């Protein structure tokens, strides 16, 4: 079966596809070679660029339904294939480990993250909270095949010398070991980390004074590519953006660009995005959507609350557009050097949009208020700390339900674009609605690059085998699906799913669920609005058995009673804050004790000296 492709056209009257046509035309223009562009002295194998966005929701790209501008990512979309049924993990590290290795998260060490793992699971098999040494990365595979390998940006897969990118196959890397950091300065997320753990080639690194995260990670990658150009080898460029992770921050001009938007609130935006996604062919027309129970009622917010909410979404849009502009700068550079046509581009997000509201508790508000300027006018700027919260996160996932951390489609389904502009064998402008998974990226890239996999053994030792499947049959139009009816399991922080064909069995813990298993047809009902468990008892039972087999084979542990990822993150942050304050208090108390001790010692010394002097005086007088 061929890949489903929507042909973009504009009817004579005002039509619903006008915006689609504009995007398509812009994409074609962007994809066209520039006049005078030098002929590429291309290596035999293609270059590979991975563009990993952080916390972008399903419709956070123009070609997937976003209202903010992402023309450069859209150009790649129309030069390649958009995957509308692509799934990752519900949070960043597990996705990143699967993207690097093609191995499911419980087998690559990321059964949970350090920030969200309960104490009961620490040290258990598969719960290393770092990428283990039983897996082989895409960088190791490509490097062995003659590639030069580079990484910039967020890593979050381990911070000791044996787990940094340089130890996992990357020739050069400027990386952040933490979940996130400030976008304007070398500053951690206050309360979560003591420092912003940036390193270059394994050594502590200092950011430039004019640092902005998206600009920096692209420029550093361009530098790496050009510094190694003379050897003539193809390159792997893994660019891992901080956008749009908390704290949401963007240049003033990018925030100002959206000054007229978002005043109608998240419910209106969610509906508008669902309509655009359907018009673009990303989801079926008229798919039902639900309101998340954690979404606040926009009409009940007071004027100040609305003003702050509008401003943070403007900053979020500006942050995305700033990142897209840097993608365009990279593409323009590759066109100028003649590399563009022989480059495979992969764009994806690591999970759905971030719903966490850091200001939900008085403790957090007081702490963050001491660290940042939290005024509405400063939202999104240098020195700010802001997050879009569950209302806007729900809109960013539209028309899906849920968001980051959960096993809902809004948490697991994200945009994926794969393009190889110079390869005529790959379809351009198509949309695939076949099930795809983040573990599929490694076998896809190795097949396209003509690089052998490892088959479960690497450099004389046994390693975890790749579990993903190559998406090349979809990219070439030979197949609509590579997974068919094979079961595909998933679990993170107690939220779990089992995919099989068009169906999904899913369980979510609070606050996005009640712990009960439900069954959905996610092709016809991607918003997960109609539970089919009672209507299809045999399928429900068979898929539940499939999940239990997956959980047993992967060593999945049950979560402690009352656990939620949100609360665990807050607990982690509170412990970090408490540890930091105790150290500061200890230093303060220690200083006071030292000072008092010195004063006492000085007083005693002077008192002893006076006694000696008095004794001498008494002897003279006698």
The pair of structure tokens assigned to 330 is: 């990279």
Distance CA 19, CA 386 (A): 31
Distance CA 471, CA 469 (A): 6
Kindly state the DSSP code that residue 204 receives in the 8-state scheme: E
Q: Is 25 a catalytic residue?
A: no
Helices (H), 372-527: 389-396, 409-412, 441-449, 472-475
The SS3 assignment for 366 reads: helix
Distance CA 176, CA 172 (A): 13
Distance CA 530, CA 523 (A): 12
User: By C-alpha distance, which of 274, 277, 273, 282 is closest to 4?
Assistant: 282
The pair of structure tokens assigned to 180 is: 């996130």
Q: Is 87 a catalytic residue?
A: no
Cβ-proximal residues to 516 (8 Å cutoff; 6+ apart), any chain = 507
The pair of structure tokens assigned to 397 is: 């996932």
Distance CA 27, CA 29 (A): 5
Place of tokens 């976008």: 183
- Helix (H) or strand (E) holding 606, with range, is helix 565-621
- Helix (H) or strand (E) holding 568, with range, is helix 565-621
Give me the catalytic one of 92, 106, 121, 454: 92
Tell me if 399 sits within 8 A of 351, measured CB to CB. no
Distance CA 210, CA 329 (A): 17
Count CB neighbours of 468 within 10 A: 23
Place of tokens 């050097």: 337
Give me the catalytic one of 156, 245, 437, 483: 156
The residues annotated with a catalytic role in the active site are: 92, 156
């Amino acid at each position: 079966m061929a890949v489903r492709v929507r042909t973009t056209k504009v009817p004579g009257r005002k039509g619903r596809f006008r915006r689609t046509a504009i995007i398509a035309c812009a994409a074609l223009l962007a994809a066209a070679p520039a006049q005078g562009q030098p002929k590429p002295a291309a290596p035999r194998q293609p270059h590979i660029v991975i563009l990993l966005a952080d916390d972008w929701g399903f419709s956070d790209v123009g070609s997937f339904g976003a209202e903010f501008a992402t023309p450069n990512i859209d150009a790649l979309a129309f030069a390649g294939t958009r995957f509308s049924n692509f799934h990752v993990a519900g949070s960043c590290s597990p996705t990143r480990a699967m993207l690097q290795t093609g191995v499911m998260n419980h087998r690559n060490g990321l059964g949970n993250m350090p920030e969200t793992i309960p104490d009961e699971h620490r040290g258990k098999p598969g719960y290393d909270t770092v990428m283990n040494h039983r897996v082989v990365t895409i960088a190791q595979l490509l490097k062995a095949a003659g590639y030069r390998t580079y990484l910039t940006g967020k890593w979050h897969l381990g911070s000791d010398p044996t787990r940094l990118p340089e130890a996992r196959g990357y020739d050069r890397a400027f990386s952040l070991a933490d979940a996130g950091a400030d976008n304007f300065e070398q500053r951690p997320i206050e309360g979560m980390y003591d420092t912003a753990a940036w390193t270059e080639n394994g050594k502590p690194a200092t950011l430039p004074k004019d640092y902005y995260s998206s600009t920096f990670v692209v420029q550093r990658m361009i530098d790496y590519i050009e510094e190694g150009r003379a050897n003539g080898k193809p390159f792997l460029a893994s660019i891992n953006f901080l956008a749009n992770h908390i704290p949401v921050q963007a240049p003033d001009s990018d925030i100002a660009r959206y000054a007229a938007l978002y005043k109608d609130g998240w419910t209106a935006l969610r509906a508008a995005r669902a309509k655009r996604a359907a018009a673009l062919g990303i989801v079926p027309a008229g798919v039902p959507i639900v309101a998340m129970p954690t979404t606040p009622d926009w009409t009940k917010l007071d004027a100040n609350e609305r003003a702050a909410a509008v401003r943070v979404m403007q900053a979020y849009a500006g942050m995305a557009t700033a990142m897209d502009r840097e993608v365009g700068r990279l593409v323009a550079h590759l066109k100028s050097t003649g590399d563009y046509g022989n480059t495979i581009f992969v764009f994806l997000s690591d999970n759905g949009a971030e719903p966490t509201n850091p200001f939900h508790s008085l403790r957090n508000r007081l702490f963050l208020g001491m660290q940042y300027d939290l005024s509405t006018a400063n939202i999104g700027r240098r020195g700010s700390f802001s997050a879009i919260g569950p209302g806007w996160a729900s809109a960013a996932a539209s028309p899906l339900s849920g968001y980051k951390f959960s096993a809902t489609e809004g948490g697991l389904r994200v945009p994926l674009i794969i393009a190889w502009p110079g390869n005529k064998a790959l379809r351009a402008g198509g949309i695939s609605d076949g099930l795809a998974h983040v573990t599929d990226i490694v076998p896809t890239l190795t097949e396209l690059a003509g690089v052998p996999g490892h088959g479960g053994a690497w450099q004389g030792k046994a390693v975890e085998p790749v579990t993903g499947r190559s998406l090349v049959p979809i990219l070439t139009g030979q197949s609509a699906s590579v997974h068919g009816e094979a079961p595909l399991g998933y679990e993170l922080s107690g939220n779990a799913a089992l995919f099989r064909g068009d169906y999904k069995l899913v369980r979510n813990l609070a606050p996005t669920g009640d712990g009960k298993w439900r069954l959905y047809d996610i092709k016809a009902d991607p918003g997960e609005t109609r539970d089919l468990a009672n209507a299809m008892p045999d399928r429900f039972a068979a898929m539940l058995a499939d999940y239990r087999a997956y959980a047993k084979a992967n060593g999945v542990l049950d979560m402690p009673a009352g656990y939620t990822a949100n609360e665990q993150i807050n607990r982690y942050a509170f412990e970090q804050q408490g540890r930091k304050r105790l150290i500061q208090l200890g230093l303060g108390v220690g200083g006071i004790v030292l000072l008092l001790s010195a004063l006492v010692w000085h007083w005693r010394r002077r008192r002893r000296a006076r006694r000696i002097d008095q004794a001498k005086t008494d002897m003279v007088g006698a």
